[in-house]
Amino acid sequence: MNTDILIVGGGLAGLSLARQLQVAGSDWQLVEARDRWGGRILTEVIEGQGYDLGPSWFWPGQARMESLLKQLGLNRFDQAYEGELMYQDEAGMVHRSQGMASMQGSWRIKGGLGNLINKLVDELPAERLHLSTPVSQLTETGLDKDFAIGISTETGAVFNANQVVLALPPRLASQLNFAPALSERAIKAAQNIPTWMAGHAKAVATYKTPFWKEQGLSGDAMSRRGPLAEIHDASPSEGGPYALFGFVGTPANHRKGNADALKDAIAAQLEKLFGEAGSKLESIMLHDWAFDAHTATELDQIPLRRHPVYGQPDALKDLWQGRLHFGSTEMGAEFGGFLEGALEVSDELAAFIIESVKAKKN
């Protein structure tokens, strides 16, 4: 299949870029290795309500997210924060009256972030979208050819394009086969960029009632004992099932292959923190991103201690005569790693690609 622009990766960055290219009348195709859209955005639906197992929040001052929600007719709501925070020390002792909720001021999307992904997909022509299509090799054919880059996939489908955007984590992108091979400097630069969120595991526990509110609690808890290191209210904007979610603090190499045992330990911790009501789980969902082959590499299993400094390294600029682009949220100089960063990068690439296509026609 021939196209002017091929986007590799159907997360927020890739879908947002496709939307802008579609509006501009560009010729594009999008391939995604997974059998679903969203990338690191993963929303599970229970009784018609969405629960995010990937990112959940965005914040005031992130204008691209606010604008996109308005364009798509979606609504945001405030992260629950009223009530006391709890703290669990190293010995497992639970302490109340530890201040107020830590995530006050954060925003969530009604129905979960999956609603945002679904809206973006619905706006795009189905014939340009290709799920379950992992890319295996990219070959630079040269500017003297009809198309500058040939793309092979594991399904046997072949694409030819003039520009390719790798809208997936840089470490994953660096593992693709390139012919000719990217420079050692470029590969090293890509592998040195931590994949945001890739080392995390996230759990969501649902309940019939928001019992923590009845106890004067916000649902927020910090723990030095674990397995959840940080817990917050994950309930829908209206109605139930109500939910708490937490980030697993146990190192990735200790979690591998132990999902059932980890769920049991999480259930026990929620009972310890919240008493008998915390033990009355309706369901518990767990996604370990560190072992998601379409998100993380072995390098990502090393825990991050702070938010990395993101942005596009010089070594990843102007590849293959400006035809090959790294385009994930990690390339965002201002909001790298966040949802806003994915939109930041897609905006920049859309402007560059649309202008380059115009210049070529002229």
| Closest-CA residue to 255 (of 221, 284, 226) | 226
Is the same domain home to 99 and 215? yes
The stretch 22-31 carries a mean pLDDT of 97
Compute the distance between CA of residue 62 and CA of residue 64 in angstroms, rounded to an integer: 6
Residue 327 tokens, joined: 């385009």
Q: Is 60 helix (H, G, I), strand (E, B) or coil?
A: coil
pLDDT in tens, 56-87: 999 999 999 999 999 999 999 999 999 999 99
183 and 249 in a single domain? The answer is: no
pLDDT tens for 254-306 read 898 889 999 999 999 999 999 999 999 999 999 999 999 999 999 998 877 78
State whether 173 and 35 are in the same domain. yes
Residues 90 and 136 in one domain: no
Range of the domain at 47: 42-109+199-291
Question: How is residue 126 annotated by DSSP?
Answer: G
Domains of the chain: total = 2
Pair 151, 275 in one domain: no
Alpha helices in 123-258 (DSSP H): 170-173, 184-191, 211-214, 252-255
Is 158 within the bounds of a domain?
Answer: yes
Q: What is the pTM of this model?
A: 0.96
- CA–CA distance, 135 with 150 (Å, rounded to integer): 11
Rg (CA), the chain: 22
Of 265, 291, 317, the position where a domain reaches its end is 291
Q: Which of these three, 242, 267, 291, is where a domain ends?
A: 291
CA 302 – CA 209 distance, rounded (Å): 37
Angle between helices 12-23 and 114-122 (to 10 degrees): 30
The answer to whether the CB of 109 falls within 8 A of the CB of 126 is no
pLDDT of residue 143: 60
Any domain includes 1:
yes
Check whether residue 266 and residue 155 sit in a common domain: no
Q: What is the CATH number of the domain that holds 251?
A: 3.90.660.10
Q: Which two tokens stand for residue 191?
A: 């592998």
Q: What is the pLDDT of residue 97?
A: 76
**124 and 86 fall within a common domain:** no
Quick check: is 298 in a domain?
A: no
- Segment 115-142 shows an average pLDDT of 97
- The answer to whether residues 90 and 101 belong to one domain is yes
